[in-house]
Structure 1
Amino acid sequence: MTIYKSTFPDVPLSEATITQRVFENIDPKMTVLIDGPTGRKCTGAQFIQDVKSLAGGLEARGWGAGKTIALMAPNIPEFCALFHASAWAGGTVTTINPTYTAPEVNHQLEDAGAEVLITIAMFADIAKEAIKGTRINDIVIIDEAPAGMIPLDDLRGPPMDAQTPVDVASHVVVLPYSSGTTGLPKGVMLTHQNLVVNVDQILAVTGLAGARETTVAFLPFFHIYGLQVLQNVYMAAGGCLVTMPRFDLELFLSLIEAHKTPKLWIVPPVALALAKHPMVDKYDLSCLEQVNSAAAPLGADVAEAISQRLGTHATQAYGMTELSPASHVSPFGKGKLGASGAALPNTECRIVDTQTLKDTAPGQEGELWVRGPQVMAGYLNNPEATRESIVENGWLRTGDIARIDGDSFVYITDRLKELIKYKGFQVAPAELEAALVSHPDILDAAVIGVPDDESGEVPAAFIVIAQHREALSLEDVQSYLSQRLAPYKQVHLLNVVEAIPKSASGKILRRVLRDPPTT
C-alpha cells in the first residue's frame, strides 16, 4: 500500500464545538460581519449575543438540543447567527439551497427530519408548499414575516450562556446535501469534530490564523465551501466577512476595492471573469495577494491569466462536501499551475487503480482516496451509500481521477463519478433523468456533462420521444424542468435519439453518448 502523507505537522483534535472554536478569537469590538449591499455591520459582541439569544429561543420552542432546523437563506449576517445558534443549543442544521423548488425542499425536509424551516420572505410561498407532509408546522422569516409565519425577532429568547454539552466526535452539527459520487442528493453527516479540525487544518497552512483579514463572501453558505472556508474559517481566525446574497460581478469588484481584501475564495466561472471580463479594469484590485479557486478544476491557462492581469497568486484547492470540505490547498499561497494543492495536516491519500483497487505506482493516475479526521460520519439514512463511499479503514473514495507528484501536489485529471459540476454546483444525472422521463412525451432519457468555458460543464440531455410527438424542442424541455428542479440543474443541450445506449444490466452507457462511434 502506497500512502501519501501530508508534509505538514498534524493539528491536535479539539474537544471544542464549532461555535466554541469560532468564538475563540472573535474581538468583541471588531466588525465581524458586513452586509455587502447595504453596509449594515455587526460587531463581535453583537454576533455572540445574537447567537446566544437565538439559541435560547430555539431551546424554548423545543427546536434546540437533538433537533434539526432547516435554514434556507442567502448569504446575510443572520445566516451565520442562526447556524451557530443551533450548534450552541446542541442542534443540527440542514442547509437548503434557496433556488430549490418546493418538491426539492420537501425531500430534504422530510429526509433530514427537520422540525422548523427558517427562510426569508422572498421564499415564503415555496416554504409554505414545501412543508406539506413533513413534521414542520412553523416557518420562521428572517426579514418581514407574512401573516401566519414567525418573525425572527419573536424567536429570540433569554440568552443561553453556555454551550449545550455534546459529544463532538459523534454529534452531527450540519447536514448539507450532496449527490456524493452518484445518485440523488443525500444528507452528509458532519460532526463538530469534522468541522473544527478542518478549520484548524486550513488555518495551519493558509496564513489566515491571527491575520484578522476581511474577505468577500459570495460563495453560498448553504454549500459546505461557503459555510466552512468562508464563514467558519474566517470567523475562527478573528476575521470579517462581507456577505453577498447573490453573485454580481460589479458589486463583487466594488466590495473588493472598498474593503481591500487580500485573499479571495472563488469558483472557476468567477476566475474566468477575473481573467477576461473588461469590467475588472475599472477597479483597483491591487490589494489582492491570492485568488484561490475550488469546487471544480481550474485550467492552468486561466490561472496564469489571472496572475498576469492582477499581479497576484492564482491557486487552487480541492475538497468535497464529504471532506468538510477541504483535503488539499495551495499552502501559503504558493501553488503549481494545474495542481489542486497539497494535502492538509492529518490527511493521507492513496491513488488506486479503478479496476483492481490496488495502489498505482508513484506518478501514475488512479482514483484519489483520502483519509483523515475531516472525513464525514456517513450519509444520513443511507448505510449502503456510506459503505460504498467509505471503505476499509476509513478511506473515502472521492470518485476523482488524480495523480500526485514528487512534491505531494495532487492533480485532478478526470472524474470517475458521473456527477456534473455546473458553476461549482453538483448536478446528478440520475435526478435530471428522473425528471425528464416524467414528461408524458419522453420515453427514455440520459444526461451527461459537456465541457463549457464559462460554467465548467453544462448538462446535455439525450431523449427518446413518443411516436405521436413529432418534435420536442429544448425550450419545451426547459420549461417543463423549470417547474421541478433548481435553475442550475437545467438542461442546456438537447439531442433527440432513437434509443439510449445501455449495457446488458440496464446501465446507461454514457461513454457512448460522449464519444459516439464514427461511421
Structure 2
Amino acid sequence: MIFTGPHAPTPVPDVAFTAFVLGDAGRHAERVALVDVAGETSFSYGELVAGVERVAGALRARGLGRGDVLALLAPNVPQFPVVFHAAASLGATVVVLNPLDTTADLVGHLGGAGAVLLVTTEEQALLRAPELVAGTKVREVVVFGHAPGTTPFTELLDRTPDRTPDRTPADGAGAGAGAVSVVEVDAASDVVALLHSSGSTGRPKGVMLTHRNMSANVLQTNGGAPLEEGERVLAVAPFHHAFGLIMVMNASLRQGATVVTMPRFDPQGYLQAIQDHRITRLYVVPTIAVLLARSPLVERYDLSSVRTVISGGAALDPQIARLCEERLGCRVAQGYGLTEGLVSFMQVEGSPAGSVGRATTNIEFKIVDITSGAALGPGLEGEVLVRGPHVMKGYLDAPRATGEVLERDGFLHTGDLGKVDADGELFLVDRIKELIKYKGQQVSPVELEAVLMTHPNVADAAVIGVPDEEASEIPKAFVVLREPATAQEIMTFVAERVAPYKKIRRVEFIDAIPRTPVGKTERRTLKERKHATQ
C-alpha cells in the first residue's frame, strides 16, 4: 500500500538551483538577505545577487565550470551562500564539508570528490591548509580573511562581473532587475551539492543531490513550513548539513527571509541573538529544544518575537515540544527526512504528539515488512520507504551502496522503523540497524531513552545493545545525571515501566552523550568505548 500526503502535487521546475532560489531576489533587493550574528557582515538581496555574479566571474576565470567541484569548508557565515551559489550558477558541484571533521577525513572527502578549489576560513587555512590539499586536485585555496599562500575572498568578491553567452539571467527576477545569471544544466542529472551522510551505521558516503533534488526539497520545506513576509531566521543548524543547507539557508532565501548566521552554538549567545535580531523562526535540533523548554537562562531574554520553532535532525520528545510551546507562546513542529531525501514529512496543525507529521509535497511512501519486504497497512510496524523528486541521485562512486538503498522503482530505504495511522501521520519507532536483539525480541533504544528521560535525576541518556553470551545482546544505558542516583535505582525505574525483556541491564554514568551537530546520538562512539560495568 502506497501512501501520500494532503498536498496536491507541485511541478518541480527543471532549472538551475540558483535560478530557483534567487530568481525572485530582485523583487526585494533592498531587504537584508544575510547578516552575521554580530552585525559585522551583511548582504541585501541585491548585494547577494551581485556578489554571486562577481564571485562566479572570478571562479570562471580560474577555470571552474560545469561538472567541476568546489569544496566549501566553513561554519555558518554570510559569505557561505555567496560561494555556494556562485559555483552552482556555473554548473559546478559544491561539496560542503564539516569543520569539525578530522584532517584525514577531510582529505578523503576532497580527494574522493575531485575538488579543484577549496574555500575556507582563515582559521582552517592557518591550521591545516597544506595538509588538506596535499595529494588532492585542489589547485587554489580561497580564504575568508587572510592566510599565507592563499587568495583572499575579497579578491573574488570585488571582481567586475562578466556575462557570457552561456550564462543567462534566471527567470522570475522582474524585468531582469537583480537577476543572477546561470549556465544551462541538466537539472535532473547534474549534481549541484555533495553532502556526506552521518556515518552512524558505517563510514560516511557522499550523497549526490541534483539541481532538481534540491529545488524539490526547498518546495517541500516552503509548502510544509512556509515563512510569512518579513520573517527573520536564526541559522545555527550547520550549512554543511542537509538540514541547514536546504531547510534553513536555501528555503529561507527562496522566500525572501532575512537569515542571521551563527557560526557556532553557545546557549547565551543563541538566546541573545534571538533577542537582538527579533528572530521569528527557529530551526532547532532536539538538544536546543531542551534548552528552550527547560533552561533557566531563557528567563533572562526577550524571546517574544519567535512565532515558530521547527525541529529536525533527530526525534523530538513530545513533552519537550509541549513545554517549549507553553514557555515561548509559539508553535513547535517537527519534520523528518534524511540527507538522501530531506523534508519527507512535516507536522501540521493538529498532528498528534509523537508523530513526525504527514508526507510533504510530491511524496509517496510505504511501510514494508523488514523480513519479507511486503507492503503493510496502517498501524503495522515496518521499514519506511519514500519516493519523490527530492530523493538523491545516489552515493558517489558507490553503486553497490546505492543499490542497497534505492529500489529500481525509485523508493528509498530510510532504515527507519515506523508505522502510519489512518490519517497518514507517520510515527517512528527506531533505526532498524540499532534495534537491540534480546533473546530474539526486538528492543528499541529510543523507547528506553524516552523512559529514562522521565526520571527526575536524569539530564540526558542513550541506550545501545552490548554483546551477551546468553541473550545475544542486552540493553545498556549511558546516563548523564542532574542529581545523584545509583545504577540500580535507574534500572529499577525503567523495569517498572517496560516489558521484562526490555529492561535496562547495565548502566554507565558519563559526563555527556556524544552527538552529531544535528543532535543525533553517536551510538557507534558509545559502542567503541571501553565500557565500565555497573
What band does the TM-score fall into relative to the shorter chain? 0.7 to 0.9
Aligned pairs for 1:266-305 (under 5 A) are: 266-305=284-323
SS of residue in 2 equivalent to 1:176: strand
- Number of the residue aligned with 2:45: 44
Question: In the aligned structure 2, how far is the partner of 1:414 from the partner of 1:47?
Answer: 41
Q: Name segments (4+ residues, structure 1) moved above 6 Å.
A: 458-462, 487-490
The alpha carbon displacement at 1:37 in A equals: 2.3
Within the alignment, does 1:171 sit opposite 2:176 as a pair? no
Number of the residue aligned with 1:365: 381
Q: Displacement of 1:150 after TM fit?
A: 1.2
In the other structure, the counterpart of 1:327 is 344
Q: What residue number does 2:365 align with?
A: 349
Contact kept, 8 Å, 1:140 with 1:151, in 2: the verdict is yes
Cα deviation for residue 175 of structure 1 reads 0.1
Give the equivalent residue in structure 1 for 2:414.
398
What is the rounded CA distance, in whole Å, between the counterparts of 2:323 and 2:200 in structure 1? 32
Looking at structure 1, the residues matched to 352 and 129 of structure 2 have their Cα atoms a distance apart, in angstroms, of 45
Contact between 2:367 and 2:383, CA under 8 Å: does it hold in 1?
yes
3-state SS of 1:349 partner:
strand
Query: Is this contact kept in 2: 1:231–1:241, CA < 8 A?
Result: yes
Count of matched residue pairs: 447
Q: Which moved more, 1:489-498 or 1:12-21?
A: 489-498
- Cα gap change, 1:263/1:38 in structure 2, threshold over 3 Å: closer, same or farther? closer
State the distance in 1 between where 2:60 and 2:435 align.
39
Aligned partner of 2:20 in structure 1 is: 21
Structure 2 partner of 1:265: 283
Report the AA paired with residue 132 of structure 1: A
- Go from structure 1 to structure 2 and tell me whether the alpha carbon gap of 1:140 and 1:291 turns closer, same or farther (over 3 Å shift): same
Specify the SS of the correspondent of 2:340: helix
Cα offset for 1:455?
A: 6.7
CA distance in 1, matches of 2:130, 2:292: 39
**Residues 1:376 and 2:392 aligned together:** yes
CA RMSD of aligned residues (A): 2.9
1:234 corresponds to 2:252: yes
Report what 1:53 is aligned to.
54
TM-score computed with the length of structure 2 as normaliser: 0.78
What is the aligned-residue identity percentage?
35
Cα pair distance change 1:181/1:495, threshold 3 Å: closer
Gaps spanning 5+ residues in structure 2: where?
164-180, 437-444, 454-458, 468-507, 513-520
Contact preservation (8 Å) 2:15, 2:185: no
Query: Paired residue for 2:214, among 195, 199, 203?
Result: 195
Q: Could you say which residue in structure 1 is the equivalent of 2:97?
A: 96
The question of whether the paired residues in 2 share the 8 Å contact of 1:458 and 1:491 is answered with no
Partner Cα separation in structure 1 for residue 424 and residue 123 of structure 2: 47
Task: Tell me the secondary structure at the aligned position of residue 378 of structure 2.
Answer: coil
Match for residue 3 of structure 1? 2
Q: Deviations over 1:374-421 (max 9, x none)?
A: 00000010000000010130000000011111221111111113499x
Q: Is the 8 A contact 2:334 2:356 kept in 1?
A: yes
**Structure 2 contact 200–524 (Cα < 8 Å) conserved:** no
State the Cα distance separating 1:135 from its structure 2 match: 1.2
2:41/2:78 contact within 8 Å kept: no
Tell me how far 1:98 sits from its aligned partner: 0.5
Q: Report the Cα offset of residue 42 of structure 1.
A: 1.3
The one-letter code of the counterpart of 1:52 is E
Cα separation, partners in 2 of 1:154 and 1:16, compared to 1, 3 Å: same
Q: Does 1:217 align with 2:217?
A: no
What does 1:128-207 correspond to in 2, within 5 Å? 128-143=130-145, 145-156=146-157, 157-161=159-163, 162-179=181-198, 182-207=201-226
CA positional deviation for 1:60: 0.6
TM-score by length of 1: 0.80
Q: Which deviates more from structure 2 when the two are superposed, residues 23-32 or residues 396-405?
A: 23-32
- What is the deviation of 1:263? 2.1
Letter in 2 for 1:12: P
1:58 touches 1:86 (CA, 8 Å); kept in 2?
A: yes
The letter for the 1-side match of 2:344 is S
Correspondence 1:417 to 2:433: yes
Q: Counterpart of 2:69?
A: 68
Contact 1:11/1:346 (CA < 8 Å) preserved in 2?
Answer: yes
Q: Partner amino acid for 1:284?
A: D
After superposition, give the CA deviation of every residue in 1:152-209 in whole Å (9 maximum; x if it has no partner).
Answer: 123344424421111111110000011467321111010000111121122123232x
Give the partner amino acid of 2:134.
Answer: K
Seen in structure 2, the aligned counterparts of structure 1 residues 456 and 269 have a Cα distance that, compared at 3 Å, is farther
- Between the aligned partners of 2:528 and 2:253, the Cα distance in structure 1 is 44
* Structure 1 residues 102 and 455, CA gap change in structure 2 (3 angstroms): farther
Shift of residue 493, structure 1, vs aligned partner: 7.7
Q: Distance in 2 between matches of 1:151 and 1:419?
A: 49
Residue-by-residue CA offset, 1:296-353 (whole Å, 9 max, x unaligned): 1111111111122222222110011001x2101123x553311111100110110011
Looking at structure 1, the residues matched to 238 and 358 of structure 2 have their Cα atoms a distance apart, in angstroms, of 25
How many Å separate the matches in 2 of 1:491 and 1:207? 37
- For structure 1, the 5+ residue unaligned runs are 421-447, 463-473, 479-486, 499-512
